[in-house]
Amino acid sequence: MLELKNVHTYYGNIHALKGISLVVNKGEVVTLIGSSGAGKTTPLRTIQGILRPREGSILLEGEELTKLPPHEIVKRGVSQSPEGRLIFARMSVKENLEMGAYQRNDKPGIAEDMEKVFKLFPRLKERIGQRGGTLSGGEQQMLSMGRALMARPRVMLLDEPSMGLAPILVDQIFDIIRELHSEGVTILLVEQNARLALSVADRGYVLETGEMALSGPAKDLLHDPSVKAAYLGESH
């Protein structure tokens, strides 16, 4: 479905992604783990077209995304719940969700998806008229994910959904990710909490200083000694 081939990305002169390749199949949840500073967010920004790769290509169902501007990429079915959530603080919850569906024109479809999102996140329905900036962290994360879902994405990019949330909220969020998975949504999940991420994912990739160090089925990675040592905090 989504495929990165040998992608090189730079921040100015800094070589951030040194030729990574990655595949996400339809209906899969794939996770990208790594320590902080490993450049986990960069692939997502590159896929979305916010950063431009200098080399390599990004394909969505065989279609080249590499040269397209971000809004065209969204139109083709890639949406993102970004790091730090980036909620529109002075817009209501409803408006935030509507912005998620910006590239769509089917009003009934949008209404339908909004109902779905509210079913998934009942809290959001309670806060429908409230401004985004006044929500709590967990609610903002829900809103951010809901907003990404409103694009009816073919691939959804989830960046650090657990960041800055209380453990009980993290569990809630990951339950929802599981639910999405069961509904067949294709997800590329970037997460610092490797154990949690691998527990919901089908497959995983490990990114180290801009390069893919490891990849494989999530269960295997969960038991890989080097992953255990480096990312799961188990020293034995």
Partner 1 sequence: MDKSLAPSTAMPSFRRVGKILLPIAIIYLVLLFGQPAGLEPGRLIREILGNPTILVQQLISGLANAAIVTIIAIGYTMVYGIVEMVNFAHSSVFMLGTMVALLFMVGLSGGVRTPLWLAILAFIPAMLFCGGLNAVIERFAYRSLRKQPKIVSMIAALGMDFILQNVGLQLGSFVKLPNAFPDNQSIQWLAVLGNQAASPKAFPQVLDSVNILEPIFGPDVPLRIVPAEVMVIITAIILVFALTWFIGNTRAGKAMRAVAQNPAAAAMMGIDVDRIINLTYAIGGALAGGAAVMYGLYKGNTSWDVGFVNGLYSFTAAVVGGIGNIKGAALGALMIGVISSLSNQLLTSSDWSKALVFVILVLVLVFKPTGILGSEGGEKA
Could you tell me which of 99, 139, 147 has the C-alpha nearest to residue 122?
139
CB nearer to partner 1: give 58 or 212: 58
Note whether 71 binds partner 1 by CB under 8 A.
Answer: yes
Among 133, 137, 164, 217, binds partner 1 (CB under 8 A): 133
The one-character DSSP state at 92 is B
Residues 28-67 that bind partner 1 (CB under 8 A): 48-50
Q: Is 3 in the site for partner 1 (CB under 8 A)?
A: no
Minimum distance, C-beta of residue 110 to partner 1, in the bound complex (Å): 11
Where are the extended beta strands (E) located within 142-193? 155-159, 187-191
Q: Which of 91, 213, 214, 232 binds partner 1 (CB under 8 A)?
A: 91
Complex with partner 1: residue 75 or 123, whichever CB lies closer: 75
| Alpha-carbon separation of residue 208 from 24, 153, 204 (angstroms) | 19, 28, 13
- The burial of 207, by beta-carbon neighbours within 10 Å (0-12 exposed, 13-18 middle, 19 or more buried), is given as buried
Q: At what angle do helices 107-120 and 137-149 cross, to 10 degrees?
A: 150
The tokens of 144 are what? 């951010």
Interaction between residue 98 and partner 1 (CB under 8 A): yes
Among 1, 2, 24, 151, binds partner 1 (CB under 8 A): 151
Q: Which residue, 189, 192, 159, 176, is CA-closest to 84?
A: 159
Three-state SS at 198: helix
Site size for partner 1 (CB under 8 A):
28
Question: What x/- string results for residues 111 through 130 when contact with partner 1 is judged by CB under 8 A?
Answer: --------------------
- Tell me which residues touch partner 1 (CB under 8 A): 48-50, 69-71, 73-75, 79-80, 82, 84, 86-91, 95, 98-100, 102-103, 133, 147, 151
